[in-house]
Amino acid sequence: MVTMLPPKAKLMLALREHRMHHVLWHTVRDNWEAQDEGEPVFSDSEKQRIRDMGWEPLRPSLDKDRVPKENNKSGEDFLFMHRQMILHVNTLLSEIGDTSYPEVVGWARVPPPNDPDYPVPPVWNSAPDYIKSRKTDNYYSDIMMQRENYFTTSENLSGMTLGQLGSQLEYRIHNPMHLRWASDPGEERPLVFPSDADAIDTKWDNPSYDYLADPYSSHVNYIFWKLHGWIDDRINDWMRANKITGEVPWSVEWDKNIMPQHGLIHEPHLMAKMDDRTNDIINRMEEVVKIVNKTNLITPFSVIDDGIT
Ligand SMILES: [Cu+2]
């Protein structure tokens, strides 16, 4: 059965600060080491400005050739940050108290083609090839289903670190899921906005902009929480496969009350309270948005490793 997010939850997720957090989190870590025709995407001085705003990625997720970095624990960052997002939404859902949607529950299985509840939205003419090619039935049977089996088999999970698991999940199945279930957004947010613009146009803050293929909007879409619930459940599989009980053995000492590189405490009512500190966090994000406004950016979710493991 399909349950949509309660409207109040959708409104909170559509707030500009949550949109900026999600798009910057993915964009900065995917582009930190990347090069375009031998030139770094971010110059040293741009990196320094990003650092000054508190937005240096904990660990870059891709190397200069845009190959996922599986062994630097950036995969743990991916799993931890999205688990924090789920916790945050669960806190909000419990405050809302809608009995039809008490908490985030991930897909039990990746929906096959013609799934009655989660059919693949049709391709549209102007869709980029990296989206079109992930919507076919063959993509499901030849790649996605194999990957699902791979990531749910305990012999595979017991042979990898948590960081390797996170990185492989992100680029081998999570990104394709975002693209496969994306619907025609009508008008698409330009991923590089005009260079004379100094901010993301507020028209993209409308709750109706919930395009799954853009990190500025994906988390506003109810399918985001189904697919991220599925991703998050793989942490539990991995612990079981490695006979680990209790707390997740993250390599990093996280402050579990704070969203990484965001600073906002994940209590929804506190987020709604706009004090000086909150304003400072938002202003710093607006600054980083200006710095990452570049033509040679890697678009998060477009980097996919389709090689068969
Ligand atoms: Cu994300």
* Cβ neighbours of 124 (radius 10 Å): 14
Give the burial string for 246-274 (b: 16+ CB within 10 Å, else e): eeeebeeebeeeebbbbbbebebeebeee
Instruction: Dig out the tokens for 257 from the structure.
Output: 């009350």
Query: What distances in angstroms separate CA 271 from CA 9, 53, 209, 275, 278, one per listed residue?
Result: 13, 19, 21, 9, 8
Distance 269 CA to ligand 1 centre (A): 22
Q: What is the mean pLDDT of residues 142-157?
A: 97
Distance 216 CA to ligand 1 centre (A): 9
Domain boundaries of the chain, sorted by first residue: 7-14+73-272
Distance 26 CA to ligand 1 centre (A): 6
Distance 139 CA to ligand 1 centre (A): 22
- Of 27-31, 43-47, 269-273, the one with minimum mean pLDDT is 269-273
Distance 157 CA to ligand 1 centre (A): 22
Q: What is the pLDDT of residues 238-262, one digit of tens each?
A: 999 999 999 999 987 666 555 555 5
User: If we measure between CA atoms, which residue out of 40, 58, 79 comes closest to residue 232?
Assistant: 79
pLDDT at 88: 87
Distance 215 CA to ligand 1 centre (A): 6
272, pLDDT greater than 80:
no
Q: What is the pLDDT of residues 56-114, one digit of tens each?
A: 988 999 999 999 999 999 999 999 999 989 988 998 899 899 999 999 999 999 999 99
- Of 126-130, 166-170, 220-224, 305-309, the one with minimum mean pLDDT is 305-309
Q: What is the mean pLDDT of residues 280-290?
A: 88
- Cα torsion for 246, 249, 252, 257, to the nearest 10°? -30
- The whole-angstrom separation of Cα 74 and Cα 120 is 30
- Of 132-141, 226-235, 250-259, 274-283, the one with minimum mean pLDDT is 250-259
Distance 218 CA to ligand 1 centre (A): 8
Distance 49 CA to ligand 1 centre (A): 23
The answer to whether the CB of 55 falls within 8 A of the CB of 47 is: no
* Cβ neighbours of 277 (radius 10 Å): 12
